[in-house]
Structure 1
Amino acid sequence: MSFETAFTPLQSLGGGALIGAAAVLLMAGLGRIMGATGVLAGVLQRPGGADWSWRAALLLGMICGPAVFMALTGQMPQITVPVSLPMLIVGGFIVGVGVTFASGCTSGHGVCGMARLSPRSIVATLTFMATTAITVYVIRHAIGG
């Protein structure tokens, strides 16, 4: 199996700008940090809680992204997942464990925490990035994926 990473600078810039704008608007409007796993946990753990509605709206916006893309371009985004369902489940479990140990996810630490110069977020983001680089190297070169 061969993996190819597409070079999409404009789409990446647009996506990053939208994530950044959402994080800034959430912080400016509600004083809350936009970490995707924290938002999801709040919806699942506290249904009907005081901050449930904005969390649900944010998650709904994330889920509706492909429909917005289709409305703007006339086609659904092409998504290719080059691994099996069991590998996706294992990967999801590993990410869940990492999020638990890091007290947050890449969006919370990498976008919001880094912007606030949080030492914990800087360490967490460096750890995420180093682990990602090692994983890609092992998958693509050491075991020949």
Structure 2
Amino acid sequence: MTVTSEKKTRTPRDLALSLIVLLVPVFLIVLGYRYLYGGDTIVTVDPAEAIASAQRAGMSQLPPNTAPEGWLVVHAQFRDGALRIGYLTKDHEGVQLVQSRADLSSTVQAKPGETRLLGRSGDITVVVVAAQGADASPLARLLPIPVQASASQ
């Protein structure tokens, strides 16, 4: 009794079908995330609690609870003696405010192309870092501590 084994060769068509079977679920998951869960939606936060925490810790001359007109607050946190608030401008450019009693002038640096504004009042230091192309002046006008352009190195 002779058993003949036939070897089946794989064709490019088989490879294409395998890829389709693998990519369809991935594509459906991405679409589901984007459209069912708002994957592109900007999540905003209320900075009031972080600002209140900074005030309870004895920090004074705090930024206002509201962002400049048309801006969004996307991050607000008071931790380790530093108040950090992240904003998106009207053009969706990032701006970060950091306020602390520590000397932030040497620790919070701007990356190449970014703008850094620095202000001091007594033992309070405020640093505003704006992404390349972002105009931080609307935020600077709202701050109780005046800030001005500073070398970041």
TM-score tier (shorter)? under 0.3
The structure that is helix-richer by fraction is 1
TM-score w.r.t. length of structure 2: 0.20
The structure that is strand-richer by fraction is 2
Which entry has the higher C-alpha Rg, 1 or 2? Answer: 2
